[in-house]
Amino acid sequence: MKKRILFITILLIYSTILSAQIQKLFSENIDSNWFFGQYVGINKHAIVVEAQTYTQYQQDYNNPVPLYFYKEKQNNWKYDYMKNVDILNVPSIVWGDFQIEYNDNYFLYSKGNKEDKLWADLTVEEVNSGNFELIKKFEFDSFYHIVTFVINNEWLFYRLSKSIRDTSFYLDYFYKIQNNDFILVDSFIYKDTLIFPGIPSTIKSNITDKYTIIGDASYNYKERKSGRVTIYKRKGENWEFSQNIYHPEILHNGNALGMGTAITEDNKYLFVSAMYSQDKVPKVYIYKNTNGMFELYDELTEPEAVAGNHYGNSISYQNGVLLVGNYQIFKECVVFQYGLENDKWVRKAKIKPPQGMKSDFFGVSIAQYGETVVVGASFDNTYHVDNGAAYIFQIPARDTLTAGICEGEGYTFNDTVIYDAGHYTDTLLASYGVDSVVQLYLTVYPKEQVEIDTILCDDESLMVGDSLLTEEGVYTLNLKNIHGCDSIVTARIEYDNLEVSDSITADYGCQNGEINITLQGNNPPYAFKWNTGDSSEDISGLSKGEYSVTITSESGCEYDYEYQVGDSIPYLIPNAFFPSGQEEINSTFKPYTAKDVHILSTQIYDRWGEKVFSGTEDEYWDGTYHGKASPPGVYLYRMEIESPCGKEVKTGQVVLMR
């Protein structure tokens, strides 16, 4: 009877200013010495943890590898089920044939076949609400090994190797994914590869919408086993070779560039780790995308990353967070968190397990999804044996504080009172969990002098703080500003006033009416809105009728006025005049005209047609001819008249009376 395996989830809470929740997953089957946490993965469905038995690691490679799946329930990750996967009958740590790829849509794993016909196959299963459905299996024979593979929603990439004596052939394949069908698009072959004994030929590959990155830590370049990184670039619906990246310090043998790789979502930064030989410090090199080519830009290392450490052997990047594992025998194991600041990657935090012991291999595997981070510790000694564990951390979304104080006040930051504005940095040391570098950006708000100059409308008042101001004048008030700091407010209040005078011209029957207004106010400029649609101060071309206008001041105060345009006659020609009369009325033959009407010319004829008078503008007949009084009687006239309605000629009779 097989021994029953129990899984216990221990929930530990650790709180600092950047609180982090830690949960530990491990197996109780201590007799088998499971390397629980050798691989970890996480997506929106579950967490998966791989365990390898001690016998598999040493001699028996035909036992299945158990994969344990955990689902989140009430903010706690709980065991859900186990999935067994057969492995190849050679050590997977050497050949790299057993691998896992787990994302929101697909679950991939490579495994060996116990029969002699096949060495390995690659299985693709679709993930649907946490369940798995087989959609594709790639089978390989003739001593092919699966070196690495990676998948996203559109593309599948895998690399095969075939060994002949000391030479390995690499074959790279790209498949387009369409409705769960895998269509081979491109393939490439490399024949110049030598295997570096003891190091997997390829550790990790990455794929984005534009690039595929393959780390080849065992590559032999210029007779130096220093590794390389191969980069493919997508061009339309095909892939093409872009570049190879070799170790910056190529002369050092055994530097193993490409043990870990990661790339940002925008394809701007590429991270490549290098595990050096015993006399060199391991590093993570940062390459920056410049015009489609990745160039060495910077490097990361840590004081804890001493020679011989596995710093960078596990790398994970997502949404601006770069995690780098650092583990080694007889050393304390940690995971470093980095973030981008001013185009430079800087350390943000140091993550340690609770009660972490040396040689627990904490950081041998890393996965992250959102703010949840899973870290494998395959030699964790929960029961004083190295059976392994996996830790779940909630990385805080903020490690940068922004604060403001009023002038004269102090801000307490790590037991220090700060009075001046500036950028401050402090390290919050944790016995376990997130050991963070916290930054404070402090702003000091000065005492403010605020002046308010406003013009109010007749029906308005001004509320300043708790004071309602309803009269003109100058007010001084002490208030709190939006930051809660003291401010002195000086308010000057004036009320809007406007006086309007007008001049109206009547309509003569030809739409010549006008309304002209004159304004005197304290709040110009003014806007006008007439009921005719006009927006000018004065309007013309009006017929008889009623007109209204709304005048708006600069402060938005509105004034309404109404006007009446009447009708009128432009002129009146008398039918008789008395040049010798005692009264001044009608002493000359002169029409009565409006101010905008002009008599351009006047001609007078007697009844026999003889012209007795001819005058231009403002010249009128006084009843004489050649200096002598004309006899009374009927005379004919012809007048040329100009008015707003135009020019016209009027003829008629006038009686000269004496």
- Grade residue 385 by pLDDT with cuts at 50, 70 and 90: low
Q: Which of 313, 221, 232, 308 is nearest to 267 (CA)?
A: 232
Q: DSSP of 479-533, one letter per residue?
A: EE-TTS-EEEEEEEEEE--EEEEEEEE-B-SSS-EEEEEEEEESS---EEEETTS
Position 148 scores a pLDDT of 85
Per-residue tokens: 348 = 């943000």
Give the pLDDT confidence of 330-365 residue by residue, as tens digits: 677 889 999 998 899 998 888 887 665 566 888 889
Q: DSSP of 85-148, one letter per residue?
A: E---SS-HHHH----EEE-SSEEEEEEE-SSSS-SEEEEEEEEETTEEEEEEEEEE-TTEEEEE
- Grade residue 59 by pLDDT with cuts at 50, 70 and 90: very low
Kindly report the average pLDDT of the chain as a whole number. 81
Give the pLDDT confidence of 583-632 residue by residue, as tens digits: 567 789 999 998 889 999 999 999 899 999 999 988 999 999 998 999 99
- For the residues 216-224, what does the mean pLDDT come to? 64
- Whether the pLDDT of residue 193 is over 80: the answer is no
The owner of tokens 């005058």 is 615
| Best mean pLDDT range from 163-167, 174-178, 484-488, 590-594 | 174-178
Position 4 scores a pLDDT of 28
Domains, the chain, ranges and CATH? Answer: 448-495 (no CATH), 498-565 (2.60.40.1080), 574-656 (2.60.40)
The whole-model pTM stands at 0.59
- Whether the pLDDT of residue 185 is over 90: the answer is yes
190 or 428, higher pLDDT:
190
| Best mean pLDDT range from 103-112, 320-329, 533-542 | 533-542
- As a whole-number percent, the residues of the chain with pLDDT over 90 amount to 34
DSSP secondary-structure letter at 30?
A: G
Per-residue tokens: 103 = 């994302």
DSSP secondary-structure letter at 182?
A: E
Ramachandran class of 414: left when φ > 0, alpha when ψ lies in -120 to 50, beta otherwise:
left
- Grade residue 249 by pLDDT with cuts at 50, 70 and 90: low
Question: Cβ–Cβ contacts within 10 Å for residue 8, how many?
Answer: 11
